[in-house]
Amino acid sequence: MTGLDRNSVRRTAVLAGAALIVGLLPLASAGTAAAADPDPVPVDRFEGEVPFASQPAEGLFTWGGDADDPPRLSLAERSDAPEGAKVLAGDYDISGYGGFTHDYAADQPGHDWSAHKGIRFWWDGQNNGKKTAFEIKDGGANGEASELWTTSFTDDFTGWKQIEIPFGDFTYRTDYQPVGGIDQVLGLTQMWGYAVTLPVGAAGRFAMDDVELYGKADQSLRASVTTDAAVYPVKEGGTASVKVSVATTGSAPIDEPVTVAYESAGGTAEPGRDYTPVKGEITFPAGTESGASRTVRVPTLRDRTGEAAETVPLKLTVTGAKAPAETPQVVIDAHGLPYLDAKLPVKKRVADLLSRMSLAEKAGQMTQAERGAIGAGGDIAAYDLGSLLSGGGSTPTPNTPAAWAKMIDGYQLRAQATRFQIPLIYGVDAVHGHNNLAGATVMPHNIGIGATRDPALAERTGAVTAAEVRATGVPWDFAPCLCVTRDERWGRSYESFGEDPALVESMETVVQGLQGDRSGKDLKDDDKVLATAKHFVGDGGTAYGSSTTGSYTVDQGVTKVSRQELEAVHLAPFQEAVDRGVGTVMPSYSSLDLGDGQGPVKMHARGDMINGVLKDRMGFDGFVISDWNAIDQLPGDYAAHVRTSVNAGVDMMMVPYSYKEFSATLIDEAKAGRVTDRRIDDAVARILAQKFRLGLFEKPYADTGGASAIGSTAHRAVARQAAAESQVLLKNAGSVLPLKKSQKVYVAGSNADDIGNQTGGWTITWQGSSGNITPGTTILQGMRKAGGDITYSKDASASTDGYDVGVVVVGETPYAEGVGDVGNGNDLELTAADKAAVDKVCAAMKCAVLIVSGRPQLIGDRLGDVDALVASWLPGTEGDGVADVLYGRRAFTGQLPVTWPKSESQLPINVGDTSYDPQFPYGWGLTTLTNVPGGGTASLRALALVAAAAERAGADTVARTAVTKARLLVQQKIGTAVTAASAKPFADADHLLLTGHYADAVAKLTQAYRAG
């Protein structure tokens, strides 16, 4: 990029001076220059010819991450304007992201910029040293549905300066694209405008003038030489084929010859011994079509000696076009070494490989980077990276199964250029299905799975998730969350199976769904993934107001508990996970305060918990992965962050954008003896063992054989069942539910017809979003498919006359993590619009209210006006499942996984509390089964005898059935008249049921019956 300084001299004077100089030159020279360089083409003069408007009209408009982020723009008169009388001026103070755009009119054809060298503009420098991103919009339907190509310039000057950007400087934006990839080629023949992203973090001002296209398209900028890959693995003795292609922006034939001289040179392989050297030249004559290719072959030689991989760089010297961004490498595969022998036990393979690795290679295995940080992927081999991840919303373009597999295969190919060709382990947060992938089967969030009380179904949801994740090339899932949620003000409440550790433990069958057999023998299968138990330990117990992270109130706060409570409530689920063979564990962002005088200590620094309890006492033999940038929250400098977390037992560090710094610091700390060789070897051995168990050394690339089942009818049937079983019927006066198909039903509410709202956070993006974000069936659509006579009015503005029953679907909009904390812009109240819809419909007819939310909502003030109340949680993509119970295709069988409070002031409130007076107790859930038992105390006495006998005999199924019958009988008597006297023993009974104390559970239910 070049820039021309401009301060007090007006641009018109510059142009006049240039004209004078041209006039003094010989005519032939002037004529040649004119022919070679077309006149600049204005894009924006900022004199008022382009309005402030947005699509589909042409215009300038602002945007930002929140209400304060968009800059303020004006067309300001400036005496020093480089062109004309006005400039585009503005000021900004951006905390998230913000900027402005000029889009061409969407109802007109895109513009052709292909005749020009680049784009330029004048910028009034403030010398603030900050980067400003500049994007252009290529191809697609319009300016908001095009590809984004980006570059940046640094404001390190004062006054006006002309910024010139050749089109060759723009790169395809990989972190965000508004639509699926079009062709990922900067065609320049269908351009839709530009955008400017302003710096964040400090208030500033800017001025800009005269955006224009300049120069003649130089073939070396328009044409480029590429190879079909950056890495070419080949077995010893084989021949690598390197395809060399020429391509042009706009796909026009080249108008000048392009030559490519090639030569095998450098690398770790020895010419004549390991391969036959090659040298030559390829010529693409003028007129060659864009996309034409030639092949260079590099033969390798067999020496029958076991050895590590060796590299043969193929140096390319290009004339007449842009050369490839990097030198392609032929890699002679590692061979004949013990760690490559799949017949050997994993322990021996690990020991052999570990003995060969350097400190740098070991540090690389302990490092995990985000895909968006590594660009084309060259750093994978340069830093021997062991792992990559996709954060929430970090997806390929287009977001399809095939694109995921292609992307991950490309990264795995890069790992083949390392000395020992150790494959990457790629991880994603598939917390309720493969939720980053558009079109995947999205399950109910864990809170809903806990409501099903169905361990077998939980395992099936895990199996579907694993199959869909592995079919896209991903072998590792950062799930399940085993937090025990103790305060529903926590924004992560829905990630928990419930408030009772016994319930969480019972749902850990999901680990087998994800991983298969406890031994790990199934991990190499194409439908299993490595699971992650998170967040170790106590994140569900953080106290309201204890967080020091931004504006969070609960998340990442402090869990202050006695050691006894820690063991009983928060550690117990992790012992179960270890017993089930879970492959990885993730520590929590939160701090733990055991009242032992240490005060709150961040979990990533707690060696007593990670090394002492998890690894030593519990016997966990997998590896520990940090949370996203979690070590940055530890005290001290960065070196202290690294050594503290590694020495505490964290084996792999999720350092998404600081992977280079982490790796270098770990190496320095190890050389200084502050992290021991033994500790590093332990960490790397744990990581390598899981890679061997996953079969990645034998099959590093995606097995897409199961891709056709992603979002399939069979998979969605499992999600549909889970959605149905998760529905908890809290009230059903007059048997309003189930609905009858003959009834005229009035449907209203914000969440009746919104797939984004019913799937919640962690869906397509980290926070999720409202709207039609992924294929699925909304609750309204499910009701219509069920055959109901439906009228829908979202805000209940349509007439309510003439209907038999109303269904109002209300609740929350999506959020994730601390963003959803109560007090951080959120509360447990319904919105004013939702309240109005409930009031209007329930005043006009019998009504059922469904609450779609990640946690209980306060409904007590309206409970008397509501005939039926359903906790729908976040049911996922299959609204058919909700319709199934509404219309009686399935019975309501769900039970509350958390206590439903009367008021926010009661929080935290949990089963087992001494004072316990909720709206609905933990374990509550009415049924629409027709065979609810009767008989009162006589039946309870009989059921108590059955439960006791079955408990003694170890007949769990019989005993559970007896307790369930007793629970339904008690609920039938209590109805909506829940009191503290009945609620406490009722909730206690469900905990006793889950812990196998069946006779005691019936005794508690009998107590609740008498109190009711």
Across 748-757, 895-904, 932-941, least confident range: 932-941
Of all helices (H) and strands (E), which one includes residue 132? strand 131-138
Q: For residue 328, what are the CA distances in angstroms to 184, 225, 412?
A: 21, 12, 15
Spatial separation of the C-alpha atoms in residues 616 and 672, rounded to whole Å = 26
The identity of residue 879, as a single letter, is G
Name, in order, each residue with C-beta under 8 angstroms of 604's C-beta and a sequence gap of 6 or more: 587, 589, 626, 627, 630, 631, 633, 634, 644, 645, 648, 650
Active site amino acids: 627, 817
Q: What are residue 171's DSSP bridge partners?
A: 150
Least Cα distance to 270 among 310, 213, 242 occurs for 310
**Residue 394, phi-psi category: left (phi > 0), alpha (psi -120 to 50), beta (remainder):** beta
Q: Which tops the pLDDT comparison, 216 or 339? A: 339
Helices and strands (H, E) in the chain, number of each type: 26, 38
Q: Coil, helix or strand for 577?
A: helix
Spatial separation of the C-alpha atoms in residues 167 and 162, rounded to whole Å = 16
The pLDDT of residue 20 is above 60: no
Is it true that the peptide bond before 656 is cis, omega within 30 degrees of 0? no
Least Cα distance to 911 among 827, 988, 854, 829 occurs for 988
The pLDDT of residue 33 is above 50: no
440-446: average pLDDT: 98
When pLDDT is cut at 50, 70 and 90, the band that residue 172 belongs to is: confident
Q: What pLDDT, on a 0 to 100 scale, did the predictor assign at position 80? A: 97
Spatial separation of the C-alpha atoms in residues 61 and 414, rounded to whole Å = 41
Q: What pLDDT, on a 0 to 100 scale, did the predictor assign at position 220? A: 75
Distance of CA 304 to the CA centre of its chain: 46
Q: What are residue 260's DSSP bridge partners?
A: 282, 318
**CB-count burial class (<10 Å; 0-12, 13-18, 19+) for 186:** buried
CB distance 689 to 519 below 8 Å? no
Least Cα distance to 95 among 117, 65, 58 occurs for 65
The pLDDT of residue 123 is above 80: yes
Spatial separation of the C-alpha atoms in residues 1005 and 910, rounded to whole Å = 18
Q: For residue 41, what are the CA distances in angstroms to 5, 35, 45, 218, 250?
A: 21, 15, 11, 17, 18
CB distance 227 to 92 below 8 Å? no
**CB-count burial class (<10 Å; 0-12, 13-18, 19+) for 192:** buried
Across all residues in the chain, what is the average pLDDT? 94
CB distance 433 to 719 below 8 Å? yes
Spatial separation of the C-alpha atoms in residues 135 and 929, rounded to whole Å = 60
CB distance 615 to 606 below 8 Å? no
When pLDDT is cut at 50, 70 and 90, the band that residue 251 belongs to is: confident
Sheet strands (E) in 804-929: 805-811, 846-852, 868-873
Across 395-404, 599-608, 706-715, least confident range: 395-404
30-46: average pLDDT: 72
The pLDDT of residue 695 is above 70: yes
pTM above 0.75, yes or no: yes
CB distance 477 to 428 below 8 Å? yes
Q: What pLDDT, on a 0 to 100 scale, did the predictor assign at position 325? A: 87
Least Cα distance to 132 among 113, 158, 152, 115 occurs for 152
When pLDDT is cut at 50, 70 and 90, the band that residue 181 belongs to is: low
The pLDDT of residue 252 is above 90: no
Q: For residue 999, what are the CA distances in angstroms to 453, 911, 950, 957, 995?
A: 19, 19, 9, 13, 11
Please give the backbone phi and psi of residue 21, each rounded to the nearest 5 degrees, phi first: -60, -45
Spatial separation of the C-alpha atoms in residues 985 and 373, rounded to whole Å = 53
Q: 59-114: per-residue pLDDT in tens?
A: 999 999 878 899 999 999 999 999 999 999 999 999 888 999 999 999 999 999 98
Name, in order, each residue with C-beta under 8 angstroms of 464's C-beta and a sequence gap of 6 or more: 433, 441, 443, 513, 715, 718, 719
- Strand 239-248 and strand 223-227: the pairing is antiparallel
CB distance 429 to 435 below 8 Å? yes
Spatial separation of the C-alpha atoms in residues 414 and 381, rounded to whole Å = 6
Q: How far apart are the first and last CA of the chain?
A: 79
The DSSP secondary-structure symbol of 495 reads G
